[in-house]
Structure 1
């Protein structure tokens, strides 16, 4: 890295083969791993921990102070995993005293104008399409796709392999393996296309479908459905993950489109 038109604080730890384009500013207490490319006019503020082989496009702001009035200057971080791409003008704020960090996993694609607020934890292999916005304290699992203009309420959780359609307002927790659409946001099936792309067998996809038929299409409440699923469905990692997600839900899971519970 030898770019005289960029400002890099002497206290930043930048791997030797990182490329920093002109007019970028990198503050103190920043670490950037090997092979990462930082485009022009990027601002990387104190507390950023950026992995290897990442690409950060012009206009992005990484590790700015949280937009949270309770933030009191705590020494917090943003952690971005290896091979993650952050497109133009995306903003990722660092954590508060709640979690002390905001974290994006490996192999993610955060498209232009997305916002990830303080204390969000995002898993690996996620895709956030343009203008998707995450409020604070959100949990996003692995292999999650949020289409364009999705807005996620604070403290919401989205399970592994979920797909949320464009323009959705996510006010409740979205369980793993499902497709979510309509207003208010509702279960509209499982994410079978995404699961096939990731190597799930037809039998495994059918098993997941059968679990969600009990939960969403049999007029049971969540407690009743969970008991029936546990009693009648074979114990598998997928079944147990779904049941655990329901048990752990703080905001309640989204309803089925035709649900009465």
Structure 2
């Protein structure tokens, strides 16, 4: 406690573990089992409870509710966890719930994520690194979100859905199927509208690698044959290309429908 700066109006549990340089602002409430890493800042009016760990350098803004009981009627008080990575920014009124016994008992958020105002991460969801969620985005329970995924405002993701790494989900989308890595999904219900070419270029992906990925995309989502046949063909033709193989493995592992282009449209 001596290494932390705690405002007189804050309430901090006696067993909470606070790292070096922690700042707890006015009217925050920190539960007994909370662990705050070095340099974590709770700006003000933050409520954080449960078996929750927050990584070093993360900042949490007013009225966020972190680590409280999941919004799941099957939850019966099991000692589940919430783990938030380092250097995340969690803005106003964000809600994040811990896991449940039906989902692995843990909710995880990676490093360097930005969760904008009023966004929500439900029980047992797993977010990778550098995920950006704009205002009012809702991630339902058991979802898996890859690294560097970006969500536009007010979009929602159905439970058990997977969003592959480097994908982009457009604003106001309702996503009820898996989105391939490097893909772009838009709409209610969302459909695959191409590859996230802007994101790939911003992250300095090799030009030739992007060309190969585009060729594989056209092959996989063409109209001839079955999806499985086209995926197998792409896997063989581009067997030395890591980006294409990411997409192939993602589709092969699908347990829910994978989003497809609308009516065979292949714009990307």
- Answer whether TM exceeds 0.5 for this pair: yes
Q: Are 2:6 and 2:25, in contact at CA under 8 Å, matched by a contact in 1?
A: no
Cα distance in 2 for partners of 1:211, 1:27 equals: 50
Aligned partner of 1:255 in structure 2 is 260
Cα distance in 1 for partners of 2:152, 2:82 equals: 23
Structure 1: tracts of 5 or more residues without a match: none
1:165 maps onto 2:170 in alignment: yes
Q: How large is the RMSD of aligned CA atoms in angstroms?
A: 1.2
Instruction: Choose the corresponding residue for 2:11, options 7, 12, 19.
Output: 7
Instruction: Choose the corresponding residue for 2:237, options 223, 232, 242.
Output: 232
1:102 maps onto 2:104 in alignment: no
Per mean C-alpha deviation after superposition, the further-off stretch among 202-211 and 84-93 is 202-211
Aligned partner of 1:71 in structure 2 is 75
3-state DSSP class of the match of 1:206? helix
Q: Are 1:57 and 1:86, in contact at CA under 8 Å, matched by a contact in 2?
A: yes
Runs of 4+ off more than 6 Å: none
Cα distance in 1 for partners of 2:150, 2:222 equals: 24
> CA shift at 1:151, angstroms?
0.6
Cα distance in 2 for partners of 1:241, 1:100 equals: 27
Q: Deviations over 1:92-115 (max 9, x none)?
A: 001001211111100000000001
Aligned partner of 2:60 in structure 1 is 56
Instruction: Choose the corresponding residue for 2:210, options 198, 205, 212.
Output: 205
1:45 maps onto 2:55 in alignment: no
3-state DSSP class of the match of 1:255? coil
1:30 maps onto 2:34 in alignment: yes
Cα distance in 2 for partners of 1:245, 1:201 equals: 21
Aligned partner of 1:118 in structure 2 is 123
1:17 maps onto 2:33 in alignment: no
Cα distance in 2 for partners of 1:2, 1:57 equals: 15
3-state DSSP class of the match of 1:193? helix
Per mean C-alpha deviation after superposition, the further-off stretch among 228-237 and 201-210 is 228-237
Structure 2: tracts of 5 or more residues without a match: none
3-state DSSP class of the match of 1:142? coil
Give the count of matched residue pairs.
260
> CA shift at 1:219, angstroms?
3.6
Q: TM-score, structure 1 length as denominator?
A: 0.97
> CA shift at 1:75, angstroms?
0.8
Instruction: Choose the corresponding residue for 1:89, options 79, 93, 104.
Output: 93
Q: Are 2:172 and 2:188, in contact at CA under 8 Å, matched by a contact in 1?
A: no
